[in-house]
Structure formats: structure tokens, C-alpha cells
Amino acid sequence: MNTRLPHPAVLAAGVAALLLGIYMWVVTPLADGLTARENRLAAALRAEADAARLAAAIDRAQKGPAAPARPETFTIFSFVENAATREGIKDHVEFMRPASKDLGDGRREMAVDLRLSGLGMQQVLAFLQRVEAPDMGVRVRQLILQASQKGGLDADMSVAVVTDKPR
């Protein structure tokens, strides 16, 4: 068998076509695959960092605001009673009832439910301003105002504070 090599130009064109095919169907897909993997890895690392940042934000939100500056001997009942005395409305207090609720995670909400009767609007506002103390973590959880039969306003309210340890 006598085989002759094809013309050098045809041979060169065949080799060029073979190299072009290898480049198009092997090298380029591999390079694109590596680039795509690198892009997916970078996106996954960004998503992981975002998830860690979000988890930290959720943890901070669940723990609530920073611990308020309250004296160690603080009780919500005496705080509300002192506020009523300072505002001169202690005679208008029909009742004060302590309440507590376990919030889980070692936190407890201590509250005082009280009814004030026959107050003027200025007295109610002054008492609310005295009792609402965000720096100590004290808040008015519920407030219901009604016209009093004695004249003025009747106020049913609940004043609460969240503590980290049971009292």
C-alpha cells in the first residue's frame, strides 16, 4: 500500500481545524466552567457573610436593647408608687396590682396594673411622662382612658419592665 500524504496546505488546514475544534469544544468550556465555579464560589462566600451578619442582627434583636441603667434594688411596683406620689395623684389610685410573665430565654416581664380615677388631662400626662422611662427600660404597655363619673378621666394602665433575671 502506497499512501501518499495530502498536500501540505490541506494538512495544515486540517491541523488548524483540529486545533480550532479542540479550542472551541474543550479549552473554552473548561475555562468557562472554571470562571463560573469561581463566580459561584464568590457568590456563596458573599451569601455566607450576609447570613452571618443577619444571624448576628437577629441575635441582637432577640436579646433586645442594651441593659437599662436600673439600680439593683429596682422594683416596678415601688417605681410606679413613687411616681404617683411625686405627681400628687396617689389619692386617685384605686388599685395597684403586680403581675409577671415569663418571656423565655431567662427574661421576665414585671408589670403593675393600676387604675387611676378622677384625674385631669394634665395630671394624666404628667404621670405618664414620669412613669415612662426608656433609659430604665420602663414602658407603659397598655393605657385605656375613659370619662369619669366623678369628673375628669379614669385611666386603666399597665406599666412594665423586662428583666434578665427573675425577681
Q: Domain segments of the chain: what residues?
A: 1-63, 76-163
Helix-then-strand count for the chain, H and E = 4, 4
Q: Is the dihedral of CA 68, 72, 77, 78 positive or negative?
A: negative
Percent of the residues in the chain that have a pLDDT greater than 70, as a whole number? 93
Q: How far apart are CA 139 and CA 155, in angstroms?
A: 16
DSSP 8-state code for residue 152: S
Amino acid at 18: L
CATH 3.50.50.60 given to domain 76-163: no
Task: Give the model confidence (pLDDT) of 60-82 as tens digits.
Answer: 776 665 556 778 788 899 999 99
Task: Give the model confidence (pLDDT) of 124-142 as tens digits.
Answer: 999 999 999 888 888 999 9
In this structure, are residues 154 and 115 in contact, taking their beta carbons and an 8 Å threshold?
Answer: yes
Q: What is the pTM of this model?
A: 0.57
Mapped onto helix, strand or coil, the DSSP state of residue 132 is coil
Q: Which of 96-110, 112-126, 153-167 has the highest mean pLDDT?
A: 112-126
Can you state the percent helix, strand and coil of the chain, rounding each to 5?
Answer: 50, 30, 20
